[in-house]
A and B are shown apart, each in its own frame.
Chain A
Amino acid sequence: MTNHWTDIQNADVVLVMGGNPAEAHPCGFKWVIEAKARKKARLVVVDPRFTRTAAVADQFAQLRPGTDIAFLGGVIRWLLEHDAVQHEYVKAYTNAPFLLREDYGFEEGLFTGYDEAKRSYDRSSWAYQLDEQGFARVDPSLQDPRCVYQAMRRHYARYTPELVSSVTGVPVETFVEICRTIASTAVPDRTMTSLYALGWTQHTVGSQNIRAIACVQLLLGNMGMPGGGVNALRGHSNIQGLTDLGVMSHLLPGYLTLPTEADPDLASYLAKRTPKPLRPGQMNYWSNTPKFFVSLMKSFWGDRASRENDFRYDWLPKNDKPYDILQVFELMHQGKIDGYFCQGFNPIASVPDKAKLTAALAKLRYLVIIDPLATETSTFWQNHGGPNDVDPAAIQTEVFRLPSTCFAEEDGSLVNSGRWLQWHWKAADPPGEAKGDAEIMAAIFLAVRELYRKEGGTFPDPILGLDWPYAIPHAPSAAELAREFNGRAVADVTDPKDPKKVLARAGEQLATFAHLRDDGSTASGCWIFCGSWTQAGNQMARRDASDPSGLGNTPGWAWSWPANRRILYNRASADPAGRPWDPDRRLVFWNGRAWAGADVPDMRPDARPEEEVAPFIMNPEGVGRLFALGLMAEGPFPEHYEPFETPLAVNPFGKRAVSNPAARLFPGDRARLGTARDFPFVATTYRLTEHFHFWTKHARIPSILQPEAFVELGEALAELRGIRSGDRVAVRSRRGEILVKALVTKRIRPLTVEGRPVHTVGLPIHWGYEGLTKPGYLVNTLTPFVGDANIQTPEFKAFLVDVRKA
């Protein structure tokens, strides 16, 4: 979230699209209810189903799964056409005035630079015109045809309400009514918050869905504002912490990226990742990358990392290609992976196409499961009849199960969606032989290190050289790890302006990432967490709920990255002169000498407004990007592409590409895609309040509350197939079949898409062949093995199925 949960109460309009927070985030949803009570906020829900969130919404539109960009592109066009734009904000805080290169263009669904053979773009034309000093050219009047504003106008001219309606299935009147509500926040004293979750990410255009709302929010001047922002509602209590700590195949902690083969040495690595400002005087915060990275290396390797040895850059792995989860299972399916460690993860339920996964897991020599529960993955080799009809004798994979603890059985911090690091304390001892994950990993590490020490092996250096400073080596404590993430001074750290002033003595915990150095004098395991455990102690354990501004900003409650800042880009909540856009939302402001306010200003404290230091400090141009430059795989503007399985034969927005032209599809999986002729209905998967993924079916109360798998069908579809509520039905995709109970509902209606009816089928995912609930099929049996073009999140939200009475 750019903002945070409590801040939702400040919104005038709450747009829920690509999420269902009443269902999936009921505790956070209280702030939507608060916004309705306090600000008379209007709740707008756009979803393929009439959800629990829709049940308390003021406006609802049912759209076809996978058409969010069509809808949002339509909103962008509507805002531009009706001049519902916060002009001063757009001019000063976005790249709307920036001029684009002459060779940038877009035609019939494809941007310039497409290479059909590689299914990827040469993105060099998606860039600004630069002047002699390397700064971007701008036209503050927004009139230049090459400026981003005009390019955006041209791009979305096709997204008329009529075409939007025809593609999404949302009636024109409903669409326009919702546009009006959204547009009401274009004024400085009204804001809209956007709440989304996996309903946007789990598409082959997932990243662009979020880009689209970012554009809407920038046009409306809602970024940085209390009650505004683009707010990802994370699906696990600590999934934000997972990404923060870089537990992704291409990341290092703190959103530093893992080197690739193209980065042979530290200098080239840093050069690529340390941008130069694109406008004069901008903060360009990633210019500090060397400080963050070197401190990370010091944290990894300790005394063994020094300037002389490039801080042991050579000990980091260099990827030859992305090793995202789809890639890994594709390789496993090809028989190229021997062993797999599966920690707190149930891939057979969570990675698409169960049949492919089962075949892949069966090719492993060994599989290690670290989990508190008996997951379906851990028993993938057992025959469970219909739901898992495998021949155990034919599967030779050796499975090790290491029981781990649940959250209440350990100390630690959880990072919530709002980036708050909240410390929690162990409440109970783990049962039986269960151990904490850190303890399990430490035991494995120490044993492996011992083997390397004794037997050598290929490149033992990083293993032997890893800094392991824990008091009990086989059981690092949560506190030790947290202190390590925060970081400490290796040598005395002094103020660059006054070398006599010592900011942190050697060995002391650092107070802020502003104190990180690129000379090896600081170590920090995750630069954005720097400040969470300072010399003053554990900031995450703070529990002061006082709210001095009345805006739900509680600086003494836990600790929020970065720098205990609660709302990102909050400098943008004030106008260029430093006055809050809305006098009732005085979050940060220029007090004549410095930036001040209820939140930690997202700005250099002494940056006078006249200096025109723009608020989006992580971008080298300092402004929010309506045009994403070359950062997105499939284009600088979000463009509607159909899901990989679509009821349509052509993309009504552009003939040259039906589905995302830059999304990766493995050859074997192309053959496993179905067509609308065989699989006429659009399926979408989702979660229910009663369950948490595939965990709570192991707990009795949630199992009582939702005991058995079901599929939601509209009344028209049920009639078409002669199905009644409570019947057992078979849902088939090209990849498999599941048997579930039918729940016939008025809440899913047939949509008219391109003149023809399209039925949506809803598939809640929570059941499997393990646990206390009625044994069931994994919905994953049906899902397609294709992901988002940028980060490969699988397309769980839109695929084709058929439904028949079983």
Chain B
Amino acid sequence: MALQSLDVRNVSARTSPPPSARTTLEVAKLIDVSRCIGCKACQSACMEWNDLRDEIGVNAGAYTNPPDLSDQSWTLMRFTEEEIDGQLRWLILKEGCLHCAEPGCLKACPAPGAIVQYASGIVDFHEEDCIGCGDCIAGCPFDIPRLSRRDSKVYKCTLCSDRVAVGLEPACVKTCPTMAISFGSKTDMRFAAEERLPDLRERGFAHAAVYDPPGVGGTHVLYVLPHGDRPEAYGLPRDPRLGGVLRLWRSGTARTAGVVTLFSVLVAGILHYMRRGPLEVPPERPGGKEA
């Protein structure tokens, strides 16, 4: 077997389960928003490590630059000004893939192998197998993947799967000057996140909380949110879910049933033909209809 750190738990559009004998440590990235100063070092590091260069754009009246995630910007500092309890807050969120335990993108993807969930929990896109349909974008509850205009492939944060595979932390974690981003096992990160809450509550953030939404089975990117009761103020969905429509749309059972039904028509036809023969014009008897 290949690198254990790249053992696969799930693959898009698979017909059989991947090998699962080995277990691998589940990892997570913890983003403590209360320690984040929005310096964009993570954005730089992401560009440097992954050799991405977005356009030099314009200022549209915001600190958020580039204005949105793209095939060249896999992470982005999102700045929001909010009055919360009469106090001005400048909410800064490092936007990017959350690496869901139950990834909507993977569920929605029709291209075998284009989206892979490693046993570590990292959800990675293998663009070489991507067909550019964009269904993963529709399937993502966080609106993260972006289709490239240049090559019609979809891109997003890989959680530096290449670095993690060889025992390094993601580039954004390494660069973060205030150590607002940390990396480790999911268990440790969850613990570290919970440990931050008493301090935040003591500082007046009564609703500080850890963002690890159960609707997607939990995520491998966790946030400590000082205003944990208002994730949407940061730009995070309050209760992200895959949803019934997506589940039904991409239900393997339903699709298999559909295929079986289709082929049943074929089989029925054959059986019918065998049993009843063709419908032919009977030989005509003068002066009357066929019997």
Contacts and interface: CB of A to CB of B under 8 A. Distances in A.
Q: Do chains A and B touch in the complex (CB under 8 A)?
A: yes
B39 A30 contact: no
B290 interface: no
B53 A726 contact: no
13 contacts: A30-B178, A40-B202, A52-B38, A55-B37, A55-B90, A689-B39, A701-B47, A703-B56, A704-B66, A705-B65, A707-B59, A710-B59, A743-B59
Max chain A C-beta neighbours (<10 A), residue from B38, B56, B63, B179? B56
Nearest to A25: B177
B120 interface: no
A58 B203 contact: yes
B175 to A, nearest CB: 10
Contact of B37 (A40, A53, A724, A727): A53
Interface in B61-102: 61-63, 65-66, 81, 83, 88-90, 92
A38 to B, nearest CB: 10
Contacts of A743: 59, 61-63
B56 A747 contact: no
Given A58-B203, A701-B48, 7 more contacts: A689-B38, A706-B59, A706-B65, A708-B57, A708-B58, A726-B60, A747-B88
A684 to B, nearest CB: 17
B37 A774 contact: no
A689 B63 CA distance: 11
> What are the 4 A-B residue pairs with the smallest beta carbon separation, nearest first?
A725-B61, A726-B61, A22-B37, A708-B59
Interface string A373-386: 00000000000000
Contacts of B43: 705
A383 B14 CA distance: 62
Given A701-B47, A741-B59, A741-B61, A56 B40 contact: no
Interface of A: 22-23, 26-27, 29-30, 33, 36-37, 40, 50, 52-56, 58, 689-690, 700-710, 724-727, 741-747, 772-774
Nearest to B43: A705
B178 A29 contact: yes
A36 B178 CA distance: 11
A773 B56 contact: yes
Given A30-B178, A745-B81, A700 B53 contact: yes
A705 B177 contact: no
A757 to B, nearest CB: 18
A725 B67 CA distance: 14
Contacts of A705: 40, 43-44, 65
B24 interface: no
B131 interface: no
Contacts of B177: 26-27, 29-30
A26 B61 contact: no
A30 B39 CA distance: 12
B41 interface: yes
A236 to B, nearest CB: 17
Contact of A55 (B38, B55, B61, B179): B38
Contacts of A774: 56, 58-59
Nearest to A20: B37
Where chain B touches its partner, the secondary structure class is: loop
Contacts, number: 115
A314 B46 CA distance: 58
A56 to B, nearest CB: 6
Max chain A C-beta neighbours (<10 A), residue from B47, B54, B59, B62? B59
Interface in B26-55: 34-41, 43-44, 47-48, 53-55
A730 to B, nearest CB: 16
A22 B63 CA distance: 15
Max chain A C-beta neighbours (<10 A), residue from B47, B54, B177? B177
B34 A56 contact: yes
Contacts of B60: 725-726, 741
Nearest to B44: A701
A52 B39 contact: yes
B100 to A, nearest CB: 28
B128 interface: no
B46 to A, nearest CB: 10
A795 B234 CA distance: 37
A554 B153 CA distance: 50
A37 B60 CA distance: 36
A702 B44 CA distance: 8
A83 B290 CA distance: 121
Contacts of A744: 61
B280 interface: no
B199 interface: yes
A710 B58 CA distance: 10
Contacts of A58: 203-204
Contacts of A54: 90
Given A690-B40, A704-B66, A33 B59 contact: no
A704 B90 contact: no
Contact of B56 (A56, A704, A709, A726): A704
A301 to B, nearest CB: 45
A791 B66 CA distance: 40
A742 B81 CA distance: 16
Nearest to B34: A56
Nearest to B54: A704
Contacts of B63: 743
Given A40-B202, A54-B90, A704 B47 contact: yes
A555 B58 CA distance: 47
Nearest to A744: B61
A744 B59 CA distance: 12
Nearest to B179: A30
Nearest to B59: A708
Contact of A704 (B38, B39, B53, B89): B53
Nearest to A740: B59
B57 A33 contact: no
Given A704-B47, A705-B44, A747-B88, A26 B59 contact: no
Nearest to A708: B59
Contacts of A40: 199, 202
Given A22-B39, A26-B41, A56-B37, A704 B55 contact: yes
A29 B178 CA distance: 7
